[in-house]
Amino acid sequence: MRAAFPTPFLWGAAGSAHQTEGNNLASDFWALENRPGSPLPERSGDACDGYHRWREDLDIVRDLGLNAYRFSIEWARVEPVEGAFSQAELAHYRRLIDGCLERGLTPVVTLHHFTSPLWFQLAGGWLADGAVERFRRYVRAVVPILDGVEWVCTINEPNMLAMMANVLKRHESGEKRPELVAGALPPPDQPTADALIAAHKAAREELAGFKSGWTVANQNFEPVDGADAQCADWRFSREDQFLDAAAHDDFIGVQAYTRVQIGPDGALSVPDDARRTLTGWEFYPAALGNAVRHTAARIPGVPILVTENGIATGDDDERVEYTRGALAGLHAAMDDGADVRGYLHWSLLDNYEWGSWHATFGLVHVDRTTFARTVKPSARWFGDVARAGALDV
Ligand code: FCB
């Protein structure tokens, strides 16, 4: 059977600044990676040297037959010192946007993808008085370079950020780092969640004229052993409050990889006999369709853009198998009425996965010494699907 997707439809690949550019020296994450006793096993370092090699990356995206590219603007580069905006860095990102437009690629621009300037963090991060205004001022500085951009994501995975704020707090107080299976993280730090929601709203006020929204990590929480009420609570704090905050946005970004089962005592570990990916997550392609259905039901009427979906694997055939399953689930959800405008695969490159280089999500391999890019067969397969606008299922 051939599952045809609507036209127009965004078919693209995604990445983020800290994970791809390299040497993001003024950011809080760089400081975390490089401090003595860092909880993170590996550093981002030169990353994929995307800061210099972005033209090559955009050529790959175009040549594959994709029509969209998601990347982020790095606040720590644009405002490395509070109040001091770098015109040269803004011009860099403007060139990147022009690079997309010249190649016929629709840029999907994220303004904050997990990292903040170190000065912002040292001043108290999202919990400081004035944090929202600091973010607003950064967004205001970026708006002039966004000419020709349609889709803007304010903050990537605010729910993960707020959960990680809690993890880091616990780490500082000497608690062992919990297993970082995303959906099983401790609940969000609620004041951080509230600040992020306020920052998102402030950013949207600055983004009149664009399609603006944010991207939420969907964990496909599933109740087991009658834990329906626990699961609903679990999902509300970790996911639904962030969807509700987007109920009047121009779009919502859905990001889904796996599922997490919730029993009476909380999140269950992935069973030993389950098929797992390199992140330790369960191999679960149905995650995407389910996430889209949940989002469409929770905030009806808000157009959906799949801003991330993919798999960490060293077996490229498995990437095709996973993505085919995910796209089939997406198509079925759309058949049932979900208003989905595009699918952006995570990720274009084998990039830095927040503490490690082990979990390779890329459609494109990157040599860790020469930074040479090698397009994988899965990328060509995905490009063919995009060109055809249809999937054989
Ligand atoms: C998401 C992040 C992205 C990447 C993928 C695997 O949580 O937004 O940067 O790490 O997961």
Per-residue pLDDT, averaged over 320-330, amounts to: 98
Catalytic residue, from 157, 206, 239, 308: name it. 157
Is 308's C-beta closer than 6 angstroms to any atom of ligand 1? yes
The answer to whether 76 and 86 are in contact (CB under 8 A) is no
CB of residue 159 inside a 6 A radius of ligand 1: no
Average confidence (pLDDT) over 335-342:
98
Residue located nearest, by CA, to atom 5 of ligand 1: 346
Residue 176 Cα to ligand 1 middle (Å): 22
Residue 267 resides in a domain: yes
Domain assignment of residue 270, yes or no:
yes
392 within some domain: no
* Any atom of ligand 1 within 6 Å of the Cβ of 249: no
Write out 169-237 in H/E/C secondary structure.
HHHHCCCCCCCCCHHHCCCCCHHHHHHHHHHHHHHHHHCCCCEEEEEEEECCEEECCCCHHHHHHHHHH
Taking residues 331-357, what's their average pLDDT? 98
The pTM is what? 0.97
Q: How far is the CA of 162 from the centre of ligand 1 (A)?
A: 14
Q: Which tens digit of pLDDT belongs to each residue from 5-27? A: 999 999 999 999 999 999 999 99
Domain with 218, as residue range(s), is 2-387
Q: How confident is the model at residue 182 (pLDDT cuts 50, 70, 90)?
A: low
The position carrying tokens 């950011």 is 27
* Strands 304-308 and 340-346, sheet pairing: parallel
The answer as to whether 80 is a domain residue is: yes
With a cut of 80, say whether residue 96 has pLDDT above it. yes
**What is the average per-residue pLDDT within 305-317?**
98
User: Is 366 inside any structural domain?
Assistant: yes
Structural domain count, the chain: 1
Residue 393 lies in a domain: no
179: pLDDT strictly greater than 60? no
157 is catalytic: yes
CATH number of the domain within which 108 lies: 3.20.20.80
Question: Is the pLDDT score of 285 beyond 70?
Answer: yes
Ligand 1 near 28 CB (within 6 A): no
Question: In which band, very low, low, confident or very high, does the pLDDT at 176 lie, cut at 50, 70 and 90?
Answer: low
Q: Does residue 361 lie within any of the structural domains?
A: yes
